[in-house]
Chain A
Amino acid sequence: AQSVTQLGSHVSVSEGALVLLRCNYSSSVPPYLFWYVQYPNQGLQLLLKYTSAATLVKGINDFEAEFKKSETSFHLTKPSAHMSDAAEYFCAVSDKYSSASKIIFGSGTRLSIRP
């Protein structure tokens, strides 16, 4: 069965610092991978997705993620944090050979930005 693990339920960085949110997946074949962001009192918004094309994926608001098959990882990064990046971030995985179209979500990482 597929699963996704987000390391660190809470990450705090200073404004202007690098953001790194970690995600590892467990799957017998490379899956499709997604990062979502949830701002307070809102639903989830798609940041970016990996669907077997380029391994470095660029998303909205200068976020990017790199798919590393050897490490079964899909970590999310942003070179310089802004206060507006404070939110909860979810990594998610989908089985490309399943007809179910279901997505499995990680438990989330809350990102805080220090002034």
Chain B
Amino acid sequence: DVKVTQSSRYLVKRTGEKVFLECVQDMDHENMFWYRQDPGLGLRLIYFSYDVKMKEKGDIPEGYSVSREKKERFSLILESASTNQTSMYLCASSWGRGFSNQPQHFGDGTRLSIL
């Protein structure tokens, strides 16, 4: 089974802090994704990556950046955390680019609170 591991289940930070959310997958997937999940809004794509050192903006990239230095690891960075970034963050991975019939595999999520 694919295993996607997010480093923290719960995280509490203060406004203005730089926050790092880490995600690791163990199936040699090329694609990795970061979403945020808010009640009534479903999942919204923040950033995704097709390969090491590659990144593309999703639907709501403002206030976020990402890093992919190794194939198995994809980090989400909140440059200066704000209260409106309080949310559940989900990481996912899938097979290579162009394999649209392949599902994404998700981690258990990080519930981030910004005070």
Of A41, A98, A106, the contact of B42 (CB 8 Å cutoff): A106
Interface flag for A43 (CB, 8 Å): yes
Bound CA span A96–B96, Å: 14
Known: A41-B108, A42-B108, A43-B108. A94 touches B100 (CB 8 A): yes
Q: Is A101 an interface residue (CB 8 A)?
A: yes
The total of chain A residues at the interface (CB under 8 A) is: 28
Identify which of A12-20, A44-52, A64-72, A75-83 touches chain B.
A44-52
Q: Is the CB of A108 within 8 A of B42?
A: yes
Q: A99 — which chain B residues lie within 8 A by C-beta?
A: 97-98
Q: Residue B106 contacts which of A44, A49, A94, A98 (CB distance < 8 angstroms)?
A: A44
Chain A 73-115, CB within 8 Å of chain B: the 1/0 string? 0000000000000000010001111111111011110000000
Question: Which residue of B31, B40, B41, B101 has the most chain A CB atoms within 10 A of its CB atom?
Answer: B101
Taking CB atoms, residues of chain A closer than 8 Å to B99 are 101
Residues of B within 8 A of A36 (CB): 106
Say yes or no: B90 contacts A44, CB within 8 Å: yes
CA distance A49 to B101 in the complex (A): 8
Contact A42 B109 (CB under 8 A): yes
